[in-house]
Amino acid sequence: MPAWVVRQPGPMAARPLRLVRRPTPVPGHGEVLVAVEACAVCRTDLHLAEGDLPPRRPGTVPGHEVVGRVVGHGPGTSAPPIGARVGIAWLRSTCGTCRYCRRGSENLCPASRYTAWDADGGFAPYAAAPADYVYPLPEGRSAEELAPLLCAGIIGYRALSRADLPEGGRLGIYGFGASAHITAQVALLRGARLYVMTRAPEARGLALRLGAHWAGDARAAPPEPLDAAILFAPAGDLVPVALAALDRGGTLAVAGIHLSDVPGLDYQRHLFQERTLRSVTANTRADGRALLDVAARHRLEVTTTPYPFDQADRALADLAADRVTGAAVLRFPPP
């Protein structure tokens, strides 16, 4: 089968992604084989391609927002059934026995493994994944709409939880791409007053259309202090900007897996008065189920920019250059 792989991490101008031939994967014990219908393109895929995330194996197939249908079972697996529509996400497996897993924090499991980092992902027509870590998906929405929910949606949902937004509170969002535009809708459903700071005029327009109270440049001060904020942009120099925008007792959650260096913080200006700075690490399956339930009940609007499968390298290059509104999604021809 054709598959995109990261041959040699580097800037997108050096074309780190290559289209190669790979055998169709054989599902292992407890795994399902999925025929891919669509795969969203995540900034984490870009970090892997460009080397911000050190590769864990050579020639990895990116893609961890996979929508498809079960077409095979590995030994010891009978569910989901053949033909079932499922999603493959970032979290691939955990040990289930460590103290983090036992207390419900499987995202912190030291033995956790990840799709498109520890194992091949969905930039290929077929992908195998542990059956216990795939999500059942509804039939009533297109694969293109569903794919971004599987990472952009899930990690945004966890970031919103980590931000401790009070009911009806003032939420600031820094960066407004795939994850942010889904998270914003969840926050608005909870009655938030939303302020968006992002450098792309198109993204500011999307934020206002979705219901943001105000949208401005990435470094602009919102018109009133924030109760909570989420940093989606992988720019560490925005951390002090966001902290300075918080009201007393506010929380900033940093959603990305990669962040450039954070400059020095002024304790009185940025952290005093019980302001809190938090990171967000992966997600639990409970986060995934909760987000997909919200999306099903409220039909969240997912803005996408589609690309044919054979243009995955262009999709990543466009993402790197901020030429994507919403989420980039690879479309696959029928198997």
Q: How far apart are the first and last CA of the chain?
A: 11
Q: What is the pLDDT at residue 14?
A: 85
- In 3D space, the residue among 279, 245, 283, 281 whose CA is nearest the CA of residue 262 turns out to be 279
User: What are the structural domains, with CATH classification, of the chain?
Assistant: 2-151+283-331 (3.90.180.10), 154-279 (3.40.50.720)
Residue 331, helix vs strand vs coil: strand
Instruction: Give tens-digit pLDDT for 116-175.
Output: 999 999 999 999 999 999 999 999 899 999 999 999 999 999 999 999 999 999 999 999
List, as own/partner pairs, every contact residues 237-240 make where C-beta atoms lie below 8 angstroms and the sequence separation is at least 24, other chains included: 237/262, 237/263, 238/174, 238/175, 239/263, 239/265, 239/277, 240/265, 240/266, 240/269, 240/270
Q: What is the pLDDT at residue 140?
A: 87
Partners of residue 196 on adjacent β-strands = 173, 215
Instruction: Give tens-digit pLDDT for 267-287.
Output: 999 999 999 999 999 999 999
Distance, in Å, from the CA atom of 158 to the CA atom of 164, rounded to the nearest integer, reads: 10
Judging by DSSP bridges, how do beta strands 85-88 and 66-73 pair with one another?
antiparallel
pLDDT band for position 188 (cuts 50, 70, 90):
very high
- The DSSP secondary-structure symbol of 263 reads P
pTM beyond cutoff 0.85: yes
Q: What is the pLDDT at residue 109?
A: 98
Lowest mean pLDDT among 226-235, 292-301, 326-335: 326-335
The pLDDT of 27-39, averaged and rounded, is 97
Lowest mean pLDDT among 18-22, 38-42, 56-60, 115-119: 56-60
Distance, in Å, from the CA atom of 21 to the CA atom of 238, rounded to the nearest integer, reads: 41
Instruction: Give tens-digit pLDDT for 302-328.
Output: 999 999 999 999 999 999 888 888 899
- In 3D space, the residue among 73, 61, 66, 63 whose CA is nearest the CA of residue 26 turns out to be 73
